[in-house]
Amino acid sequence: MFAGSTSAAPVRTLTHLCALVLLAAAGLGSELRVRVRLTDGLVTEEVLEADSERDSISLEFKQGDGTLITFVADFKQDVKIFRALILGELERGQNQYQALCFISRLNRNEIIPSESMARLRQKNPQAIRLAEERRGLEQLTMSVAVNLSRAWQLSSHIHNMCSEAREAIYTREADVKHWLDKGVDGAMFEALPQTTEAPSFQACHGAKDLWQPCLCTYSLRLEWYPCLLKYCRSRDTTGKGSTYKCGIKSCSKGYYFTYYVPQKQLCLWDEET
């Protein structure tokens, strides 16, 4: 489905199957807009941007309910950040919108490098993209709160991404242990009450009192993103073979976050229906 060319040697290309290509030319913009179909059937536009100097990639799109989802992969720090700007229920006493931030370690095989993303272009911008691989749901228990004023030690992107969340920035205990081993200041982390410590906590969707603490869940899905590079083989005029980057593989992946909130009012989307 994907192909491209970065070699001057004569190669075979299946141009009729090309949808996205990797370009080697310098000076091109790093923004890519891709139309994708969400799980609810609605079509939205994803905006993907690569910053080769900061070695990062961002992906942003709006869900059918108006929630703005932003994802950033910081390759320099091996950190990934999810932000959700959720429209509030004004009639129930909420603000105009509620911000959530989830921070975790980035694995190198999750998404293509920023320099490859910066060269990615599509031949048919109006096409609706479907991911080639639907990866399994990842469930994350976010048991630690992160102090925004100190979070620059994890990633320079966190302050801009999560400034509106401030009191709702979460990470995992396993990630905290990893960062502490690397010398990060532990003062930026605060352990949240856990189910094992307070077994009376119940899931927010079952809580009746809007002001009681509970365990909230939030799920999101990155419906389309370039997860792997594809390599093709070619032969020069002498018959010598070589490989070159010729495209990308696209993936879709869901994330399910569980975390403590001091009151159900902060988790109104997680209700029994």
Report the candidate in 80, 125, 123 with the shortest Cα–Cα distance to residue 103.
Answer: 80
Per-residue pLDDT tens over the stretch 183-199: 999 999 999 987 445 55
Lowest mean pLDDT among 19-28, 49-58, 80-89: 19-28
The per-residue pLDDT for 152 is 95
The per-residue pLDDT for 120 is 86
Mean pLDDT of the chain: 84
In angstroms, how far apart are the furthest CA atoms of the chain?
76
The per-residue pLDDT for 211 is 92
Per-residue pLDDT tens over the stretch 222-233: 999 999 988 787
Distances (CA, A) of 23 to 6, 13, 26, 104, 123: 7, 14, 8, 31, 12
Q: Residue range 123-132: average pLDDT? A: 91
Q: How confident is the model at residue 17 (pLDDT cuts 50, 70, 90)?
A: very low
Residue 154 predicted with pLDDT over 70: yes
Q: How confident is the model at residue 238 (pLDDT cuts 50, 70, 90)?
A: confident
Residue 246 predicted with pLDDT over 80: no
Q: Which residue blocks in the chain are alpha helix, DSSP H?
A: 114-117, 158-162, 173-181
Which one has a higher pLDDT value, 40 or 101?
Answer: 101
Supply 211's token pair.
Answer: 């002001």
The per-residue pLDDT for 2 is 37
Residue 273 predicted with pLDDT over 70: no
The per-residue pLDDT for 138 is 95
99 neighbors 83 (Cβ within 8 angstroms): yes
The per-residue pLDDT for 217 is 95
Report the candidate in 46, 28, 37, 44 with the shortest Cα–Cα distance to residue 116.
Answer: 28
What percentage of the chain reaches a pLDDT higher than 90?
61
